[in-house]
């Protein structure tokens, strides 16, 4: 059996981190078997190399190896691509077509982005994993296939299972052995090695001297978050190789090529179906905050004049309309409240100021929570009506209820 170092050289894998070595060793160990493998890891970490190792070191190496990007095939044609179809099975099916599972019989199929498969296709795939059987689209004849399935995903499968977007039984069939590829930020000792390899490759490709980083640049490179992992690192290396005239790259030059939105200040991601409801919800919160700000300014004005006035009668007369606006009560009740305000002693004036400061410190989170509680109480827990009143979708309201643990 080949050594770990020999496998790295054969498949052009660069790096010596513990996590990477463990992933390669697991791929080498399972290659002699036919058990299914699930490869997990963030986008751009190089998951596509592991299936090649598993195939080339197996007894299937002389048969076909087919890589399928499940996320790139439309839902309407994915079943036909994987399992084939009969002539006339659907509009445009002018002849019988063999699917990947038929073509790759005896070999290996790599299902990249398997988490993007529609639920109906997941059911068909489960049958292949259980007994090696499949049916072409538009056919009633059961066919057998002998393929080794290696799948990969960059999504959180357990979250997808909770949201009913991925079958739990399929996950356990796929992940007989699970191999995780660590992100680049957890392989700091490999980052500069990879960068140098990419720079050398681009120097040959574009017929120019190889670029190098100064010491500070190397430290910046190794401590950067690399959200796009190896793919992003390669992209930066190519940009520097092509665009920079100087072959010694300074730390300041390197920083100009790195996106500023590192891991601590990434923008919030909002799905398409939640975008409209988010905008509506945001507008409500802005309106509430603007109203609060106006009320607080009025209260501040009243408090300041109350503390500075010597003639309470003049204070009452000059601020009657403002008092009425703040308390939003009838003229009779306002008169009553005015008498009570005028009787406040010096200590109570400061208590009143502290109360205003407390109100002023309210956050958007607190106000949002208060609005949701009031609406739910008003509609006796009926989310549909509460969401309508708040101007948000029922789905967004449900998410907020879970978030605030209501």
Q: What is the CATH number of the domain that holds 20?
A: 3.40.50.300
Using DSSP, how many helices (H) and how many strands (E) does the chain show?
A: 20, 11
Same domain for 126 and 173: yes
**Residue 263 domain flag:** no
Span 239-267, mean pLDDT?
A: 82
Q: Are 112 and 47 in contact (CB under 8 A)?
A: yes
Does the pLDDT at position 22 exceed 50? yes
Q: How far apart are the first and last CA of the chain?
A: 58
Q: Which two tokens stand for residue 266?
A: 């990434």
Same domain for 201 and 173? no
Torsion on CA atoms 319, 325, 327, 329, rounded to nearest 10: 110
Domain boundary among 222, 257, 292: 257
Is the residue at 397 inside a domain? yes
| pLDDT confidence of residue 374 | 82
Whole-angstrom distance, CA of residue 156 vs CA of residue 352: 51
Q: Which of 165, 182, 199 is the last residue of a domain?
A: 182
What is the band of 269 on the pLDDT scale with cuts at 50, 70, 90?
Answer: very low
DSSP H stretches of helix in 180-308? 188-205, 215-223, 229-243, 251-257, 272-308
**Averaged pLDDT, 154-166:** 94
Give residue 96's pLDDT: 94
Are residues 346 and 372 located together in one domain of the fold? yes
| 228 in the same domain as 178 | no
Domain range enclosing 52: 4-182
**Total residue length of the chain:** 406
């Amino acid at each position: 059996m080949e050594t770990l170092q020999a496998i790295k050289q054969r498949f052009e894998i660069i790096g010596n981190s513990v996590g990477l070595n463990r992933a390669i060793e697991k791929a080498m160990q399972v290659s002699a078997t036919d058990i299914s493998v699930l490869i997990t890891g963030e986008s751009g970490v190089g998951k596509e190399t592991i299936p090649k190792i598993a195939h080339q070191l197996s007894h299937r190496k002389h048969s076909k190896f087919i890589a399928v990007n499940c996320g790139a095939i439309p839902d309407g044609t994915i079943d036909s691509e994987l399992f084939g179809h009969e002539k006339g099975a659907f509009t445009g099916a002018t002849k019988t077509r063999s699917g990947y599972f038929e073509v790759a019989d005896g070999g290996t199929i790599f299902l990249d982005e398997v988490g993007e498969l529609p639920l109906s296709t997941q059911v068909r795939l489960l049958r292949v994993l259980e007994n090696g059987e499949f049916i072409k689209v538009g056919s009633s004849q059961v066919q057998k296939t002998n393929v080794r399935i290696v799948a990969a995903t960059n999504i959180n499968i357990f979250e997808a299972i909770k949201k009913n977007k991925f079958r739990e039984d399929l996950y356990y069939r796929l992940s007989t052995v699970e191999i995780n590829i660590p992100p680049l930020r957890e392989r700091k000792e490999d980052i500069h090695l990879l960068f140098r390899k990419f720079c050398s490759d681009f120097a040959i490709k574009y017929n120019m001297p190889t670029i190098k980083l100064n010491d500070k640049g190397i430290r910046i490179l190794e401590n950067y978050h690399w959200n796009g992992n190896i793919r992003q690192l390669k992209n930066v290396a190519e940009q520097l190789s092509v665009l920079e005239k100087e072959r010694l790259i300074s730390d300041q030059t390197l920083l100009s090529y790195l996106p500023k939105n590192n891991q601590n200040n990434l923008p919030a991601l909002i799905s398409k179906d939640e975008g409209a409801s988010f905008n509506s919800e945001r507008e409500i919160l802005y309106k509430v905050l603007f109203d609060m700000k106006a009320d607080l300014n009025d209260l501040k004005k009243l408090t300041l004049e109350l503390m500075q006035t010597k003639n309470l009668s003049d204070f009452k007369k000059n601020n009657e309309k403002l008092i009425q606006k703040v308390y939003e009560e009838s003229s009779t009740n306002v008169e009553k409240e005015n008498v009570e305000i005028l009787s406040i002693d010096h200590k109570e004036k400061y208590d009143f100021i502290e109360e205003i400061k407390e109100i002023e410190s309210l956050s958007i989170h607190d106000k949002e929570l208060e609005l949701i509680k009031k609406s739910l109480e008003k509609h006796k827990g009926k989310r549909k009506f509460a969401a309508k009143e708040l101007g948000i979708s029922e789905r967004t309201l449900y998410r907020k209820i879970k978030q605030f643990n209501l």
